[in-house]
Chain A
Amino acid sequence: MRKKIAIFILIGWALLIIGDRVDELRVYQGAQVAMYTIALASIVLLTGYSGQVSLGNGAMMAVGGYGAALTLNNLGTPIWFAFLMAIVTASLFGALLGAAAARVSGPYLAGTTLALAVGLPAIANQFAFLGGEPGLFFDVGFPPERFGDEFTQYKWFFWIACFIALIALFITSNILSSRFGRTWKAIRGNSLAAELCGVHSSRMKVLAFTVSSGLAGLAGAVLAMTISLVAPGAYGLALSFALVTGAVLAGISSLPGVVLGALILVFIPEISVALADRLGDADKLNNYLPGLIVSVLLILSVIFTPNGPGENLRKHLHKKPAH
């Protein structure tokens, strides 16, 4: 435990130093990587551990984003409280949804969350307090004065995002190695056997979806911070798809892998813009090339390395000392 804390502090310290050395764009992308890290951790917890698929964690992120924005705008609370409320709102919502869809075994959770992701704009437009299509502002304010004039807004985002991501990953990794993580794995492996051992499997599955939703909500608030806005467009179906892709690419049940997945997700748009420039006809390509890259990567990885690149490597290493 103490070792783990030391590692996380070391990573945090390294991130601070890196944040000072790179330019604004990279700092901004760093904040995005931190955001995706949290979001992917929510998928790893849900899909990699409890064996359920959510196609709408992007929508759960939106719930968290709205929760944080409503708290900050209406109550004028400190920022940390807004982020806390993001977790609370999304977990509550996740618990309600999970009580219906995660309780029963089958493809119901995947379908229900997909429906939620598709219908998010319709829902956001329905309730006036969510601000409709343009959404709500979410402004965490300028960085504190004592950091000096050199300290930019993006660096402030980066700091907050990294701080939150480190704490979230630390807590998630502890949850996953606790009784709950083991129980989820048992249910994923064989839910009947798990029930015979006294596990209440439907309750545990709802719990997994609740925790995962809370994490997604936190990521949603961080995303809202980096774009200063909560609007349905930012949390569309494409985001949910990207999250599943990132998690599968990095190994669906590997928590450290989420950093790799997050890096890939942040750099896909950049790669796709570079490709589109080379190929010409920028408009169509810019709109659909990122989606094409994401889906091709998703299909290839789910067919050839369904358990992540790490597993194949391990298999390869184990093969050598054959009897």
Chain B
Amino acid sequence: MQKVIETLLIGLSTGSIYALMSLALVLVWRSTRVVNFAQAGQAMLSTYIGFEIASRSEIFWLGLVFAIAAGALVGAGVDYFFMRVLFKHATSGPAAVVAPVIATLGLLGLIRSIVGLTWGGEFKSIEAPASTDGFSVGDGTIPFSDLDVLIIATVSIILIAVAYIFQRTNLGLALRASAYAPEIAQLAGIRTARTRTIGWSIAGAVGGVAGMLVTSNNFLSPYSLDLLLVFGFIAAVIGGLESMVGSVIGALVLGIGLTFILNYVGTSLVFIGGFSVLILVLLIKPDGIMAKGKARRA
């Protein structure tokens, strides 16, 4: 019984990090209709910047603040300098549909090589802001630690902040309107292009937090966030790609499910488990768990 509870808790902590990545993907998908595969790269660049600050100042939270700022800047930059140009140029012909996705792929490669050229390929680690020793329960200790509590708390704060922005501010209304019906939003006086850039920068900031948190009890390398991207994508698909709430629920479910596999079956099956979940969701409920009404045909 105790093992079940500790698996649940660890799963919650893992899943909450996936939630940030999947939220970042959903934010961009809603506004731009692109799954931003460069999100892993953006988060990685922000995390490297956060790592520099955190290791120089020896304050994790300062690093996190810088990672958020860097993520927001990079996100806005990607939309402003690449996506806008792209949508202006690639408007017709056989490549028009696929150009944005391919461009995000190119950006992922570009950021990865820039990071590799700057910081090298060695594994870096960020000193965790809290103890990674598990709590002691009765005679033994469980793997759930102070750090996990902090991760869950940080993610909750970020999620509440994002929810507040979207539900309670004019900016949030503009973001939702221009994602839902860009032309009507434009008629209502919203600068949709600028709003979209803001959306990208929120997604970038959220991704930066995800990168910092996942690195705080792991290592950082130019490839270390690829798996986070994949699990974030799977979580977003579980949630139906459209719904922010769905993506968070999907991420928690995925995180808990994968931790159960990790604890009860073995490390090696974690990826295959996640991949099977993706295939199953696509086969059974391609619109995700949050879908209402009739499912999309074909």
Contacts and interface: CB of A to CB of B under 8 A. Distances in A.
Interface in A175-233: 185, 188, 191, 195, 201-202
Interface stretch (B42-50, B90-98, B157-165, B196-204): B90-98
A115 B234 contact: yes
Contacts of A299: 82, 103, 106-107, 110
B80 interface: no
B117 to A, nearest CB: 5
Contacts of A48: 94-95
Query: Secondary structure at chain A's binding surface: helix, strand, loop or mixed?
Result: helix
Nearest to A108: B282
Given A100-B279, A303-B86, A307-B95, A110 B101 contact: yes
Contact of B298 (A51, A100, A101, A201): A201
B101 A107 contact: yes
B31 to A, nearest CB: 14
Interface in A223-259: 237, 241, 244-245, 248, 252-253
A245 B268 contact: no
A201 B241 CA distance: 22
Contact of A104 (B93, B110, B226, B298): B298
B272 interface: yes
Interface stretch (A22-30, A140-148, A282-290): A282-290
Given A288-B121, A291-B109, A295-B110, 17 more contacts: A53-B98, A53-B101, A107-B29, A107-B35, A108-B286, A115-B275, A118-B229, A119-B275, A122-B270, A241-B109, A244-B102, A252-B98, A287-B116, A287-B121, A298-B106, A303-B86, A304-B89
In the A-B complex, the 6 residue pairs with the closest CB atoms? A295-B109, A298-B106, A288-B116, A292-B113, A307-B93, A306-B95
30 contacts: A100-B282, A104-B282, A105-B296, A106-B241, A107-B35, A107-B101, A107-B241, A112-B278, A112-B279, A115-B234, A118-B226, A118-B229, A119-B271, A119-B272, A122-B268, A122-B272, A248-B95, A253-B94, A288-B116, A291-B112, A292-B110, A292-B113, A295-B108, A295-B112, A298-B109, A302-B99, A303-B82, A303-B86, A304-B89, A306-B95
Interface of A: 47-49, 51-53, 55, 97, 99-101, 103-108, 110-112, 114-116, 118-119, 122-123, 125-126, 185, 188, 191, 195, 201-202, 237, 241, 244-245, 248, 252-253, 284-285, 287-289, 291-292, 294-296, 298-299, 302-304, 306-308, 311
